[in-house]
Structure 1
């Protein structure tokens, strides 16, 4: 049976790779890499000399056909993402689907990922959590993204790029001010830094060094949901109504504050009529 290996690689420190991963890459005829230039650092470090082809979001439709064709011809192929475990916030999922369509065996070679690495030292219970990938690019989308997170009563893990980090902090302060936050920067690398606390306490500190990649863990809400006053509920609803329908707003606030959805709907409907 034809096979494709999905090989996990380090997220920073080149020593964080398994013997099995190295063995698999050494035994491959071809390596498909999300970012061949960055992957060459790892491959050269371990003296792995193989043909490398690009497979990423930009060329996935064309490249997946080439990969499947190569494997059908008997080539042993491994796929590696830019860093960490494949198919997490990268187009690995499409390659899996195509491989299964052609009755190929998909073999995972496990290893590190920034999600679990950050959770390990967060101090936040992680028996249940939500991963939401990268922060959106547009500011309006970021605001909706954070309001969506506010409806979840579970820890949420996200990735934030450095050029969006200041925007994220300002919007987080406005929308999720009461949520405990863990900011993991440059995990496993030389300048690794992990900051924990509420935004009011840590914002000034983290704003001084906005370099590298960020993995953030937003803890679930610790507020007393029944303590909110009707006027405050209406005010929060008024802001949400700029982006959501009255029905969607009622649903969001119902989850956040343990009010009956119908009661919130009626309050907002009355507010809109006045």
Structure 2
């Protein structure tokens, strides 16, 4: 008789968030498949459990997946966990799930923490419809292409991002998606949990040169219908924005750049417009 595969959610920061059922399943199974045996070993030690661990991640999936399937077919019960949160979310665990189902092996879930859901509810943006895009591509070209593909989705957008790239990604988001409201959510459930809100342009300017630490989820408000400007109205809007930014102490160069982004005008056109007004005075 085949064994059973348990998809067990583990804490994303605060170890006290683990559920009683998760503890019972981890204690009961024959084997725990995990991304990093050292990381999961610390959790099990905290829980007072001693279990057989096997590493299972994207770099060894081709070798370990058949081994785990054989174990399940032989009657073993296996818990699949990720380093943090719900397994198969942005990790290769779905391969073990689909292979198990194809072979008639029972699969069940032990639900619990998930960073994307926690960040979504913390952001304050609508939750009736949302799109999760996993990790944004690390290189600018593919990242901007990905953003272009989701620009018109009428849902809140959620992405995972590296703290090393968050500033550059926010800049690309601002330029591709428009200056939407967003929230950078970091260190969820940990001591330094933080939600940094604002529009994409301001967040990019704040975080581009800053050393950001911790696990990050980027939540972006859905596309909103904006009033269409005729050419004259757009020019007037750019100049109003420019004057406002100058009054706030911004340099002329930065004020032009930000005004152009906010209204949706090419930077070069906005610069010529400002220069033209200057010359006409």
The bucket for the TM-score relative to the shorter chain is: 0.7 to 0.9
Q: Counterpart in 2 of 1:9?
A: 10
Shift of 1:2: 2.1
Which residue does 1:42 correspond to in 2? 43
Kept after mapping to 1: 8 A contact 2:171/2:201: no
Matches within 5 A, 1:193-208: 193-207=194-208, 208=210
Q: Distance in 1 between matches of 2:100 and 2:142?
A: 33
CA distance 1:228–1:54, change in 2 (3 Å) = farther
Counterparts of 1:228 and 1:55, CA distance in 2: 57
Please name the residue that 1:222 is paired with.
224
Instruction: State the alpha-carbon separation in 2 of the partners of residues 198 and 175 from structure 1.
Output: 13
Deviation at residue 90 of structure 1 after TM alignment: 0.8
Larger Rg: 2
Q: 1:148 to 1:35 in 2, by over 3 A?
A: same
> Hey, what does 1:150 align to over in structure 2?
151
Displacement of 1:122 after TM fit?
Answer: 1.2
CA distance in 2, matches of 1:74, 1:225: 62
Structure 2: which 5+ runs fail to align?
235-281
Distance across 2 between alignment mates of 1:62 and 1:195: 41
The whole-number CA distance in structure 1 between the counterparts of 2:23 and 2:229 is: 55
- Deviation per CA, 1:49-71: give whole Å up to 9, x if none: 11100111111121110101112
* CA distances 1:180-234 after superposition (whole Å, capped 9, x unpaired): 10110111111111111112333444443411111011111224264476xx9xx
Aligned pair in 2 of structure 1 residues 21, 228: CA closer, same or farther (>3 Å)? farther
Cα–Cα, structure 1 residues 53 and 225, in superposed 2: closer, same or farther, change >3 Å? farther
- The 3 A distance-change label for structure 1 pair 225 and 64 is farther
Q: How many residues align?
A: 231
Aligned residue in 1 for 2:95: 94
Q: Among 211, 214, 223, which residue is 1:212 paired with?
A: 214
Rate the CA distance shift 1:146–1:211 in 2: closer, same or farther, 3 A: same
Q: Is the 8 A contact 2:123 2:183 kept in 1?
A: yes
1:177 Cα shift? 3.7
Aligned equivalents of 2:230, 2:95: Cα separation in 1: 45
The equivalent residue for 1:28 is 29
| Root mean square deviation of aligned Cα | 1.9
1:54-105 C-alpha deviation (Å, 9 max, x unpaired): 1111111211101011122222211001210111111111101111122110
Give the match for residue 179 of structure 1.
Answer: 180
Q: Which residue of 1 aligns with 2:77?
A: 76
Give the equivalent residue in structure 2 for 1:245: none
Q: Using the alignment, how far apart are the partners of 1:190 and 1:205 within structure 2?
A: 22
Q: 1:41 to 1:225 in 2, by over 3 A?
A: farther
| Alignment TM-score, normalising by the size of structure 1 | 0.79
Question: How do residues 212-251 of structure 1 correspond to structure 2 at under 5 angstroms?
Answer: 212-224=214-226, 226-227=228-229
Structure 1 CA distance, aligned partners of 2:224 and 2:108? 41
Residues of 1 paired with 2:12 and 2:87: CA distance? 11
**Aligned CA distance change for structure 1 residues 202 and 170 (closer, same or farther; 3 Å):** closer
Q: Secondary structure at the match of 2:50?
A: coil
